[in-house]
Structure 1
Amino acid sequence: MSVVLHPTYFPSIATFAVIAQKEIIWEVFDNFQKQTYRNRCYICTDQGRHMMNIPIKHVGVNEGRQLYSDVVLDKSTPWQKQHWRTLETAYRTSPYFEFYEDDIKPLYENTEEHLFNFNVKTVETILDCLGIQKEFGTTLKYNAQLEHMADGRFLVEAKKDIEIQYQEYEQVFGDRHGFINNLSILDLLFNEGPNTVDYLMNQSLKFL
């Protein structure tokens, strides 16, 4: 069964396990909501769990809600440079950062205008790193209730914890903070490298 998801910024491990295991349809017609994984992800630094947030251009109150697919990146601040520097600082000593950095870094040098498209590129880049071939469908309209498809759109909610404890793997700062569950796929990739595929394929999707 296909699963409908929101493309998010370097998705969480829970979301990427769904992407790896299932046929995915991107939700295109939803409204943008604040404080979700649409424009944030969580990694681990020497200070522990750390949020990287993408600034966006907000529409005026009089214009009402805007579609997620219409949200434009705010390039008035050097967020791309800051995010890449944060990743370098956090993961330079991880086993596989140098192996994948040439694939990841160009995302922080691109001229993409829209958040939705940028997020899709982060997903596609990770899939390329892992050697996973995927084609994605898109919704044709917004439906609150889905028929003949599983609804994974709740995974976009950053404040909603998935009640599953993932198998622990070695994390760069694990000796300081212990294992931090369900971080961005980047944490798994930089620490586990090619083992990431098996890890994702072996995760339970009961939360769907």
Structure 2
Amino acid sequence: MIKPDILLSTAYFPPVQYLSKFVDHPSIWIETAENFTKQTYRNRTIILAANGPESLIFPVEKGRSRKQLIKDIRISYDTNWQHIHWQAIVSAYQSSPFFEVLQDDFRPFFEKHYSFLLDFNQEILQTVLDILELSTTIKLTEDFEEVSPNCLNFREAIHPKPQKALPDSQFEAQPYAQVFDNKFGFTPNLSCLDLLFNSGSESYEILLKSIQHD
């Protein structure tokens, strides 16, 4: 049975649930023509720090109108958020098993200035997929249109606020060792950084096990 395409929003170091779609579906659409939405994974990721889950949010420039297409959103550098984010990541994961191996793959994203949110997120995503050795076909939408019958719409389904996330029968978080699990137990569906730094080469198998079939 051929799996349908899936449509996702862009995301900043996306969560495990988001990443599982790239294992389960051969072709992924990334939405570029929607309006930017605050308080979503589009410019936020959640890591597990010493005091519990911590949201890392990067700022975007405000346009002349409230509604701005995601592909036109520019990243703001009025604050030194890159330094803050990287220091938070180092603090959270420097003792994880695979931090030393992978840190050089991710540090450049906190040193180079990217103009557009979409370009930034896409380069991060491609880096993550390369580490996982996934060759999923990624296509960018050209217009904001109704989703075709052979494509699943997950643009709003994967959300950092549980009350706003939609049910996903195809995903069930699989536990793996985390730096602070002795304090908090297993914390599911964090940033892909949490999975990769903690699980390394086993990350693909964990993603595979998270996929549920009817």
- Shorter-chain TM-score tier: over 0.9
- State how far apart, in whole Å, the 1-side matches of 2:172 and 2:182 are: 19
Deviations 1:52-100 (A, max 9, x none): 001111124xx24100111100011111111111100000000001110
The answer for unaligned runs of 5 or more in structure 2 is: none
Contact 2:156–2:165 under 8 Å retained in 1: no
| More off after superposition, 167-176 vs 129-138 | 129-138
- Tell me the equivalent position of 2:18: 15
- Tell me the equivalent position of 1:113: 115
- State how far apart, in whole Å, the 2-side matches of 1:205 and 1:144 are: 26
- Tell me the equivalent position of 2:126: 124
- State how far apart, in whole Å, the 2-side matches of 1:111 and 1:154 are: 28
- State how far apart, in whole Å, the 2-side matches of 1:205 and 1:58 are: 40
RMSD between superposed Cα atoms in Å: 1.7
- Tell me the equivalent position of 1:166: 173
The structure 1 residue matched to 2:204, chosen from 186, 194, 197, is 197
Q: Which amino acid aligns with 1:53?
A: I
SS in 2 for 1:122: helix
CA shift at 1:162, angstroms?
A: 5.8
- Tell me the equivalent position of 1:52: 56
- Matched residues, percent identical? 32
SS in 2 for 1:33: coil
- Tell me the equivalent position of 2:98: 96
- State how far apart, in whole Å, the 2-side matches of 1:153 and 1:187 are: 22
- Tell me the equivalent position of 1:69: 71
Aligned length: 205
SS in 2 for 1:120: helix
- State how far apart, in whole Å, the 2-side matches of 1:165 and 1:173 are: 21
Relative to structure 1, the CA distance from residue 205 to residue 33 in structure 2 (aligned partners, 3 Å threshold; closer, same or farther) is: farther
The structure 1 residue matched to 2:29, chosen from 22, 25, 29, is 25
- State how far apart, in whole Å, the 2-side matches of 1:175 and 1:191 are: 14
